[in-house]
Chain A
């Protein structure tokens, strides 16, 4: 679990035993079953969150990772006050989110990558103007912030174009500007880079990093892209089946969940069959390129021997890719879940 030395006043988000359950209609297949369902319904409980505890300090950039249905979006919806929990407590900026106090709602923003918050038929400039009224932003301050954000993302030429005519990447940039106009202290980002090309992802990474540093915004990001996490976040929370599996730094996740490193060699000549296996496990040979997995504790011993055994053009020693570590974590959690709770289907809504 994450341990930090921040004082209580520095904690922007405090969550204790937060749980959310949904009762859903278990719809059987077929017409006759549907007719019977009109009179007799079988419901089941979905545990979207199972008693989560979490504390986030001011200015932290936290990533929530988890497979589909892990409960990440449900968690953000609870912290934004969109839905109410089944049990547990949460305080964001000192407020209970689901009380939906205006003072609280003025101090945070939520951006959902899969949902449009700008007016579809109108240019973004009109949505921004509406935003100014809703959030009571001083006109001079509004113009200053808007121009600054628009310049940073280079979208001044898009402001007069109806939102429906914009590409996904362009729309997401404008969504981010709309979310930041009222200078929120907390920013919830739900998969903001989903479906974006590499260039747009990079631009948004740069933008978010700059904004977070400049304004000390507390950011909670949910994503499936490890590039987002590696580029932006120091702290990672892994969620599976509605529970927190890991909460700590990005470095620690590598240290804690892997026992080996990946050594890649570019040899002068392809090695003889079976020659490299003695140095490590999971040996992959593609012509003169060899990729080996070597126990971290043995790296210092093995590497000199490895380099002495063959003429080597290039060598690299890297951690196991983050995607692989996280996928392993997800698989392990899924197996454990299937073993302990086989009858109850779990997922987020």
Chain B
């Protein structure tokens, strides 16, 4: 384990060195990312100028909702910084045979493939998310209890784990198909669901969608459960969702491992 941490930090250091080499590009990426996020926040402020709450009686009034948005920003920033650059590169590695050099290394291939490239510019969003979370929580009518503060970081880790599992399964599809350029698009469509409170998925179309996105592809648990734990009282149902999120994270990691290993066994390599 210590070796993996050391290799992880070596990769991180190397990526930071690379990012610093192209410093203008790095700054532009930070600015683009922050610009996009600012537009989103302005859009939500606009919505709250028309309504005091998203979903009647849902508890997502302005400050709790901004805590929700902040949680989404933090989780996405972690995923975008740590895993997404490597996953995006995988398609090209499979197509060109670059995966070959990974498979001959005496190291877990999943670790090497999913954590060899980082995008530190995405951390900017996470830092803003952290600031937004503090701003929002300080304005809560009732401060979150200690148990909520203890659960919050663990549930953030669970949210990241669920998304990581999903990325790895999409990456495995790349290995099996030889080419999967829609990986990033599919990722964007699916994670779009996680960016809004689960309560908005209601009615004849919304209910089945909510069920699928909670129990089949547990994308709705990723942000809703940690944000809900902090922003709303921990009721019996909320505890159920917490347990479900821990279980979904474990299953997601386990399943992704099985699918990824099966895909590697079927790897065909590319012509030299």
Whether a CB of chain B sits under 8 angstroms from the CB of A73 is yes
Q: Which residue of chain B has its CB nearest to the CB of A348? A: B271
Of A133-141, A196-204, A304-312, which stretch is located at the interface? Answer: A133-141
A77 CA to B18 CA, complexed, in Å = 31
Contact B106 A134 (CB under 8 A): yes
> Out of B100, B103, B107, B268, which one reaches A112, CB within 8 Å?
B100
Contact B272 A130 (CB under 8 A): no
> Out of B14, B109, B267, which one reaches A83, CB within 8 Å?
B267
A191 CA to B106 CA, complexed, in Å = 23
| A239 nearest CB across to chain B (Å) | 14
A117 CA to B116 CA, complexed, in Å = 13
Contact B10 A122 (CB under 8 A): no
Q: How many A-B contacts at CB < 8 Å in the complex?
A: 75
| B258 nearest CB across to chain A (Å) | 16
Of A98-106, A273-281, A293-301, which stretch is located at the interface? Answer: A98-106
Number of interface residues of A (CB under 8 A): 35
Q: Which residue of chain B has its CB nearest to the CB of A97? A: B104
Contact A130 B14 (CB under 8 A): yes
| A window 224-256: CB within 8 A of B | none
Whether a CB of chain B sits under 8 angstroms from the CB of A41 is no
Whether a CB of chain A sits under 8 angstroms from the CB of B85 is no
A112 CA to B18 CA, complexed, in Å = 24
Given A73-B272, A105-B105, A136-B3, verify A121-B100 contact (CB < 8 Å): no
Q: Which residue of chain B has its CB nearest to the CB of A120? A: B18
A77 CA to B107 CA, complexed, in Å = 18
A84 CA to B264 CA, complexed, in Å = 10
Chain A residues with CB under 8 Å of B100's CB are 77, 80, 82, 110, 112, 115
| A window 85-104: CB within 8 A of B | 100, 102-103
Contact A162 B21 (CB under 8 A): yes
Chain A residues with CB under 8 Å of B103's CB are 80-82, 100
> Out of B3, B18, B268, B269, which one reaches A133, CB within 8 Å?
B3
| A window 115-146: CB within 8 A of B | 115, 117, 119, 121-122, 126, 129-130, 133-136
Whether a CB of chain A sits under 8 angstroms from the CB of B152 is no
| B window 3-57: CB within 8 A of A | 3, 6-7, 10-11, 14, 17-18, 21
Chain A residues with CB under 8 Å of B268's CB are 22, 83, 349
Interface string of B190-224 (1 = CB under 8 A from A): 00000000000000000000000000000000000
Whether a CB of chain B sits under 8 angstroms from the CB of A216 is no
Contact B265 A105 (CB under 8 A): no
Contact A134 B107 (CB under 8 A): yes
Smallest CB-CB A-B distances: 9 pairs: A105-B106, A102-B106, A117-B101, A106-B106, A73-B272, A121-B18, A133-B7, A82-B100, A82-B103
Given A82-B267, A100-B103, A130-B14, list of 7 further CB < 8 A pairs? Answer: A80-B104, A82-B269, A84-B265, A115-B96, A119-B14, A130-B7, A134-B107
Interface positions of A (Cβ within 8 A of B): 22, 73, 77, 80-84, 100, 102-103, 105-106, 108-110, 112, 114-115, 117, 119, 121-122, 126, 129-130, 133-136, 162, 190-191, 348-349
